[in-house]
A and B are shown apart, each in its own frame.
Chain A
Amino acid sequence: MKALELHAAGQTDVGRVRANNEDAFCLLPEQGLLAVADGMGGHASGEVASKMSMDLIRGYFADAGTGPPPQVGAYDEDRSELTNRLGSAVRLANMAVFEASKSNAQWQGMGTTVVAALIRKNKLSIAHVGDSRLYLVRYGNIEQLTDDHSVVAEQVKRDLITREEANRSEIKNILTRALGTEAEVEVDLEEMTLLADDVLVLCSDGLSNMVSDDDILTVVLSTRDPALACQTLVKLANENGGRDNITVVVAYLANTGWLASFINFFRGRRR
């Protein structure tokens, strides 16, 4: 039950082609919360959707002050309480974006992807909808922990096309699932144990489409400074064309100092 120290930073960039930035991200290191959203919809409503979802998820964890946080959707007994709370936050964001989209004609059909990670001690909970990704870098390897909810990912899964074909596909940006487009959304939940020196990368497709996994790995391993890693990744995506908004959150996990561990050991709470 070792607590890990979290060093995280995030950056979002409009890219080189788009006029406005419909991406958003959310960092709440003291709560161990990291999230990235990539909005979609006309009349700049993508911005609204992504921002709303991030605000809501942040709010869910930041000021859960007035009582236990609401459980939205079914409680998954197989997952930890934390994972369920993260799922609740994402489902709550879905409700908000969906209701907002109904309220205003200009926002009709807006939606967003969300990938959110919650780190407490050494436990990682992941919730995601859409094609924004979470990568885990461990022992010098990079692994995508989230399955894109996109048509091409579905095609790859069914062996209809190869991964290379998918990368070149015209319909890469068509999602099978998004937050805010339906009254209820199926959120993919995952949880795992983290180790010291793990690195987490959350990004919108503006990064993953522009920068290969290997390059992400190289950049992430070249430094321990999350802000610098984010900057470098955004720069790389822009150099490769910057065809979409680019958003990335990088988090380095480190062993806490012996004193900190000692204190944490005694202050460890059950929840």
Chain B
Amino acid sequence: MKKTKVFRTDVFIGVILTLLIVGVYALRWSPVEFLEYKFYDMGINLREGPTNSPVVVVAIDDSSINALGRWPWPRSHIARMIDLLQGYGAKVIGLNILYSEKDTNQGLQAIREVTASIEAKPGLQGNASVAGIYATLKAAEKNLDHDAALSTAIGASQRVVLPFFFALGGPVLMDSASMPEVLARNSVSFASPPDLLTARELIPPVPEFSTPALALGHINLAADSDGAVRNDCLLIDYGGRVFPSLSLQLALKYLGYDLKDLVLGEALTFRRIRIPVHEQSRMLISYSSSYEAYPFVEVLNNRVSPESFRNKIVIIAPTATGLGTMQVTPIGTAMPSVLITANAINNILNNDHIVRPGWATPLEIGVLILFGLFLALGIPHLKAGISALISSVLLVAWLATAAYFMLAEGIWLKVFYPTLLLLVGYTIVVSRGYLFTEKSKERIEADSVETNKMLGLSFQGQGMLDMAFEKFRKCPVEDEAVKELLYNLGLDFERKRMFNKAVAVYEHVMTAGSFKDIEERVKKLKAVGETVIFGAGGARKDSTVIVENAQTRPTLGRYEILKELGRGAMGTVYLGKDPKINRDVAIKTLRYEEFDEEQLADIKSRFFREAEAAGKLAHPNIVTIYDVGEDYEIAYMAMELLDGADLAKNCQKNQLLPRAEVVRIVSSVAGALDYAHASGIVHRDIKPANIMILNNGEIKVADFGIARVIASSKTQTGVIMGTPSYMSPEQIAGQKVDGTSDLFSLGVVFFELLTGEKPFAGDSIATLIYNITSTPPPSVREMVPDLPEQFETIIGKLLAKDKSQRYQRGKELVDDLQELMKVVS
């Protein structure tokens, strides 16, 4: 049981922990995510290697700024660069500078005012000097109009991709229907919009640039919770349309693909190019810190070989300190954002990706569950060393697998959730094991209920039911297990026919509420008790079946009690069964309750002494006694079960037996008495009720020596037990009783069987006693005139007041009766 309890608790802890970690996993708890990022970054750094990059960066770096002047430069510098790169054969030019406002040049404005005023007066143009000045002004205007220069360069090159910026989140302020054509051209819409980051506002380049540009792409970056940029948000939703990132646009234009080719799915697909993405169409960037870059000023001054740019993607971007935002990336903390763009393009074009494949999440949850099961079912059953070993093996295997996938396959698995589960779970389960062991030790020391239960069970097993009850009483009765114990004890009491004890036990159980069929049992026991045990004896003569329930068949000693046969002077007679030899027996009981405490020991000893003596008798006309014993409050005697009736009813005038039969009966009894007297045993209570005539005609004398034990005791306490009609004079006088006394009693029986009347009678006991001791018996022949002479003689001899005048032995009576038999029959 204890084992199961431990087992259950461990399962519980395992399941709760697993659910907890799965919950944390789903919520992306930042501390664990941070660890996951660190693992990822480590993998990225280990993966890093030379890549075949089609990207070249023209860096607006510190040296360029030193050479060309403070930033922002005139936009014509950029226009010149675009012209140059176009001449070099660059395939696509990305300009990672967002010109969202027009250039505000006060000199240009002034010139434009002057030229405008000249143009306003057409006459002035005819003046040659004015025309000269006008031409100079126009040239100056053209030189100073950097926007126009850049716009022209963009338009002329036909290969410039420009950036724009989104303000992310929030409600969209713009209606897609009114979207400018240039934006519509650089976006696609889907019937069922995919789950993407959404933008509320778009900050485009000025139309002068955006209109002639080849394409536009956003330059938003989405940093992770630790501030590092690991993803490129390839697509962003704005106003129901999907806008690509600058890197995606550059790659597409490089390949000559169009945004319209986009197919959404597990990955973004453009014809042959497949870009694996995870949620919100983010692409994990596999970083490489090495990329080809040339300072702007070097390129402008033709100091870089044109070959470096042929058929490349050239990105013009600021990298100087203080220009643009520096980003945190897995490979460094202050990286210009162009690096991110360049890497993203490389990933796309080289098809070199870090992937969170669709099966990554199920796998991670699967590993979580596996580890959870190991915690719940494995560790509690393993020795500490083994479980530590297996735990470490599992952990290392998991980390190694994840590392392999990361480095070799570019597959990113989140390792730390399962790792965390295993570490925390192992610690808790193992340490809890120690705590629990300590606790159980404490508990068993304090507990005495268990002791009482065990002692109680032990006593019950030994048949010491009272002591068992005493022990069980000390256990909390509210406990179901204790109720069960008590219930079984009650059943044992019932079996022992100690109904009042059984009731006491059941009532004790009932103090804590009902249990099983206890109430019914108590009711039944009380009813049975009134009729059989507690009641005033003879009032109810009906043969009550003690307890109908076979399950609790009562026992006396080893005998099962089947039913009540009747009531004698001693107590109730039952039909019993000896289960050992499957023999039906009659069981006479002697209930001690009817006697005083002080007499009990004496009565008991006499009862057993007499029963023991009687048990030695083996005669065909004597009821055989098998066994005698004592079970709780009841002494009992198991004897031959007889199928017949006693002679009591044959003493009534209208039911008298034939004379020959009477002679045979008396003769049989005389023979039995002779045998018993020779064995030194006196019956002391010969009367019709103690002589049985069986259905097969056999005569049996019952209750040798025993009945008087009871009767005399009762007499002593002053209770008259019936009338002493069959007593001999010496018995009444309290003198020593011997065999001739039995023969006197037999004489009385003989007289009664013949006449239907008792030889001695009286209105009161006093008269009766006087008659027995002093009055000669009446003549039989006076009452039954046709009786032969011999009857009178024999009865006279039997009923002689003086012992010495009677037959001295039963044998003598038998002889005389045999003579008489010849006469009668």
Interface size range on A against B: 20 to 34
Q: Mark B456-469, 1 if CB is under 8 A from A, else 0.
A: 01110110101100
Contact of B458 among A59, A68, A69, A266 (CB under 8 A): A59
Q: Which of A6-62 contact B (CB under 8 A)?
A: 48, 51-52, 55-56, 59-60
Contact mask for chain A residues 234-271; partner B; CB cutoff 8 A; 1 contact, 0 none: 00000000000000000000000000000001111111
* A 62-108 contacts with B by CB, 8 A: 64-72, 75, 81, 92-93, 95-96, 99-100, 103-104
**Closest chain B residue, CB of each to CB of A56:** B458
Residues of chain B within 8 A of A60, CB atoms compared: 454
Residues of B in contact (CB 8 Å), total 32
The answer to whether B441 and A75 have CB atoms under 8 Å apart is yes
By a CB distance below 8 angstroms, the chain B residues around A268 are 381-383, 386
Closest A residue to B443 using CB positions: A68
| A59 contacts across to B, CB distance below 8 A | 454, 457-458, 461
From residue 411 to 469 of chain B, which have CB atoms closer than 8 A to chain A? 433, 437, 440-441, 443-445, 447-451, 453-455, 457-459, 461-462, 464, 466-467
Contact B450 A69 (CB under 8 A): yes
Which of chain B's residues have a CB closer than 8 A to the CB of A71?
444-445, 447
A1 near B: Cβ within 8 Å? yes
Residues from chain A with Cβ under 8 Å of B467 in the complex: 99-100, 103
A167–B174 Cα distance when bound, in Å, is 114
Q: Report yes or no: A66 in contact with B450, Cβ–Cβ below 8 A.
A: yes
CB-CB < 8 A to B382: which residues of A?
A: 266, 268
Contact of A66 among B1, B451, B455 (CB under 8 A): B1
Taking a contact as CB atoms under 8 Å apart, the answer to whether A95 and B455 are in contact is yes
Asked whether any CB of chain A lies closer than 8 Å to the CB of B481, the reply is yes
B271 within 8 A of A: no
- Specify which chain A residues have a CB less than 8 angstroms from the CB of B481 in the assembled complex: 66
Given A65-B1, A100-B464, A103-B464: A270 touches B383 (CB 8 Å cut-off): yes
The residues of B that contact A271 with a CB separation of less than 8 Å are 2-3, 437
Residue of B nearest to A268 (CB): B383
Beta-carbon contact of A100 and B451 below 8 Å: no
Describe B's contact surface by its main secondary structure: helix
Collect the chain A residues with CB atoms within 8 Å of residue B381's CB.
Answer: 266-269
Enumerate chain B residues within 8 angstroms of A69, measured Cβ to Cβ.
Answer: 444, 450
Bound-state Cα–Cα, A124 to B183, Å: 87
A60 to B451, CA, bound (A): 9
For B448, the chain A residues whose CB sits under 8 A away are 70
Beta-carbon nearest neighbor of A97 in chain B: B458
Decide if A95 touches B464 in the complex (CB within 8 Å). Answer: no
Whether the pair A67, B1 counts as a contact (CB closer than 8 A) is yes
Scoring B3, B454, B455 by chain A CB atoms within 10 A of each residue's CB, the highest score goes to B454
A265 CA to B389 CA, complexed, in Å: 14
What is the CA–CA distance of A64 and B466 in the complex, to the nearest angstrom?
Answer: 23
* Partner among B383, B449, B462, B464 whose Cβ is within 8 Å of the Cβ of A1: B383
A144 to B1, CA, bound (A): 36
User: A100: which B residues are within 8 A, CB to CB?
Assistant: 459, 462, 464, 467
Partner of A68, one of B444, B455, B457: B444
- The reply to whether A70 and B441 contact each other, CB–CB distance below 8 Å, is no
Residue numbers in B under 8 Å from A99 (CB-CB): 455, 459, 467
CB of A96 within 8 A of CB of B459, answer: yes
What is the bound-complex CA distance between A269 and B441, given in angstroms? 17
Binary A-proximity of B1-31 (CB < 8 A = 1, otherwise 0): 1110000000000000000000000000000
Contacts of A96 in B (CB 8 A): 454-455, 458-459
Q: How far is the CB of B489 from chain A (nearest CB, A)?
A: 15
Contact A68 B451 (CB under 8 A): no
Residues of A within 8 A of B447 (CB): 67-68, 70-71
Contact, CB under 8 Å: A92 / B454: yes
A68 x B450 contact (CB < 8 A): yes
Cα separation A86 to B690 with both chains bound (whole Å): 60
From A67, A265, A270, B450 is in contact (CB under 8 Å) with: A67
Q: How far is the CA of A266 from the CA of B384 in the complex (A)?
A: 11
Min distance, Cβ A33 to any Cβ of chain B, angstroms = 15
Contact A68 B383, CB 8 Å, known A59-B458, A96-B458? no
User: Please, how many angstroms separate the alpha-carbon atoms of A59 and B441 in the complex?
Assistant: 20
CA distance A191 to B563 in the complex (A): 57
Across-interface contacts of B464 in A (CB, < 8 A): 100, 103-104
- The verdict on A68 contacting B386 (CB below 8 Å), with A92-B451, A96-B455 known, is no
Query: Which residues of chain A have C-beta atoms less than 8 A from B449's C-beta?
Result: 70
Bound complex: CA A195 to CA B656 (Å): 89
Interface centre among B3, B448, B458, B464 (most CB of A within 10 A): B458
Using A1-B383, A70-B447, A70-B448 as known contacts, say yes or no to A92 and B437 having CB atoms under 8 A apart: no
A270 contact set on B, CB distance < 8 A = 383-384, 433, 437
Residues of B143-190 contacting chain A, CB below 8 A: none
The reply to whether B441 and A81 form a contact with Cβ atoms under 8 Å apart is yes
Interface residues of B (CB under 8 A from A): 1-3, 381-384, 386, 433, 437, 440-441, 443-445, 447-451, 453-455, 457-459, 461-462, 464, 466-467, 481
A-B contacts, 12 of them at CB < 8 A, read A51-B462, A52-B458, A55-B461, A59-B454, A66-B1, A66-B450, A67-B1, A103-B464, A266-B386, A268-B382, A270-B383, A271-B2
Given contacts A68-B440, A68-B443, 6 further A-B contacts (CB under 8 A): A1-B383, A52-B458, A59-B454, A70-B444, A92-B454, A96-B458
